[in-house]
Structure 1
Amino acid sequence: MSNRAFYLNGSWVNSGESHAVENPWNGELVAEIAVAEAAQVEEAVATAAAAFEVVRKTPPVERAELLTRIADGIAARREDFIATLIAEAGKPVTFARVEVERAEICFRQAAHETAHPPGEILEMGATKPGRNHFGLVRRFPLGVILGITPFNFPLNLVAHKVAPAIATGNTMVLKPALKTPLSALLLAEVLHEAGLPAGQINVTPFGHEHIKQLLMDERIKMLSFTGSVDVGWKLKTEAAKLKVALELGGNAAVVIESDADWRAAIPKVASGAYGYAGQSCISVQRILVQRGIYEDFRSELIAYIREKIAAGDPSLPATIVGPMINSRARDKVVDWIQDAELAGAKLLTPLKVEGASLLHPVLIENAPGDAAVSCEEAFAPLAVLQPYDTFEEALNIVNDSAFGLQAGVFTPNITKAFQAYEALDVGGVMINQVPTFRVENMPYGGVKDSGFGREGIRYAMEEMTEPRSLIVNLG
Structure 2
Amino acid sequence: MSEITLDVVNPFTLKRIGTVGLCSDSEIDAMLGVAHDLYRNRKSWLPAFRRIEILKTTAQLMTARHEELALLIASEGGKPLVDARVEVTRAIDGVELCVHEIGQMTGKEIPMELTAAGSGRIAFTQREPIGVVVAASAFNHPLNLIVHQVAPAVAAGCPVLVKPALDTPLSCRAFVDILRQAGLPKDWCRFAACQNNVAEKMITDPRVGFFSFIGSAKVGWMLRSKLAPGTRCALEHGGAAPVIVDDSAGIDAMIPLLTKGGFYHSGQVCVSVQRVFAPAKIAAEVAQKLADAASGLRVGDATDANVDCGPLIRPAEVDRVEQWVDEAVQSGASVLTGGKPLGQTTYAPTVLLNPPQDARVSTAEIFGPVVCVYGYDDIETAYQAANSLPYAFQASVFTKTLDVAMQAIQHLDATAVMVNDHTAFRVDWMPFAGRRQSGYNTGGIGYTIHDMTQDKMAVIKI
TM-score range relative to shorter protein: over 0.9
From 48, 73, 77, the equivalent of 1:89 is: 77
**1:43 aligned partner:** 30
1:425 equivalent in structure 2: 413
- How high is the sequence identity, in percent, across the aligned residues? 32
Relative to 1, partners in 2 of residues 1:56 and 1:229: Cα closer, same or farther, differing over 3 Å?
farther
Which residue pairs with 2:303 in the alignment? 315
What does residue 153 of structure 2 align with? 165
Alignment CA distance shift 1:346-1:127 (3 Å)? farther
TM superposition shift of 1:290: 2.7
CA deviation profile, 1:192-234 (whole Å, cap 9, x unmatched): 1100122111011001111332244222111111101100000
Give the Cα–Cα distance (whole angstroms) in 2 for the partners of residues 299 and 55 of structure 1: 64
Cα deviation 1:219-254 (Å, max 9, x = unaligned): 211111110110000001001411111001111111
Q: Which amino acid aligns with 1:274?
A: F
Letter in 2 for 1:264: A
**1:398 to partner: Cα distance:** 1.5
| 1:416 to partner: Cα distance | 2.9
393-402 or 407-416, larger mean C-alpha shift? 407-416
Using structure 2 for the length normalisation, give the TM-score: 0.95
Alignment of 1:58-457 (within 5 A): 58-127=46-115, 129-241=117-229, 242-307=231-296, 309-457=297-445
How far apart, in 1, do the equivalents of 2:119 and 2:407 lie?
Answer: 43
Contact 1:142 1:464 in 2 (8 A): yes
Which runs of 5 or more structure 1 residues have no equivalent in the other structure?
1-13
Deviation at residue 159 of structure 1 after TM alignment: 0.4
Deviations 1:244-279 (A, max 9, x none): 110011111111222233321110111110111111
**Partner Cα separation in structure 2 for residue 337 and residue 140 of structure 1:** 50
For structure 2, the 5+ residue unaligned runs are: none
Distance of 2:376 and 2:17 partners within structure 1: 47
How many Å apart are 1:127 and its aligned residue?
4.7
CA distance in 2, matches of 1:125, 1:131: 4
Shift in alpha-carbon separation, 1:458–1:118, aligned structure 2, 3 A: farther
Cα deviation digits, residues 147-177 of structure 1 (max 9, x gap): 0001111111000011110111011111011
Measured on the aligned residues, the alpha-carbon RMSD in Å equals 1.7
CA distance in 1, matches of 2:60, 2:381: 48
Task: Work out the CA distance in 1 between the residues paired with 2:382 and 2:373.
Answer: 12
- The structure-2 alpha-carbon separation of the partners of 1:176 and 1:410, relative to structure 1 and needing over 3 Å to count, comes to same
| Cα displacement (A) at 1:23 | 0.8
The separation in 1 between residues aligned to 2:203 and 2:20, in whole angstroms, is 24
Cα distance between partner residues in 1 of 2:42 and 2:64: 29
**Structure 1 residues 341, 54: CA separation in 2 closer, same or farther (over 3 Å shift)?**
same
In 2: Cα distance, 1:327 partner to 1:310 partner = 19
- Structure 1: how far apart are the matches of 2:5 and 2:250? 52
Partner Cα distance (1:44, 1:392) in 2: 54
Amino acid at match of 2:234: A
Cα offset, 1:436, TM superposition: 0.4
- 8 Å CA contact 2:243–2:397 kept in 1: the answer is yes
User: Aligned match of 2:3 in 4, 12, 16?
Assistant: 16
How many aligned positions are there?
A: 460
Residue 51 of structure 1 contacts residue 197 of structure 1 at CA under 8 Å; is this kept in 2? no
Q: How high is the TM-score relative to the length of structure 1?
A: 0.93
146-155 vs 420-429, which moves further? 420-429
**Is the Cα contact below 8 Å between 1:145 and 1:221 reproduced in 2?**
yes
| 3-state SS, counterpart of residue 199 of structure 1 | helix
Whole-Å separation in 1 of the counterparts to 2:327 and 2:374: 18
CA distance in 2, matches of 1:51, 1:357: 44
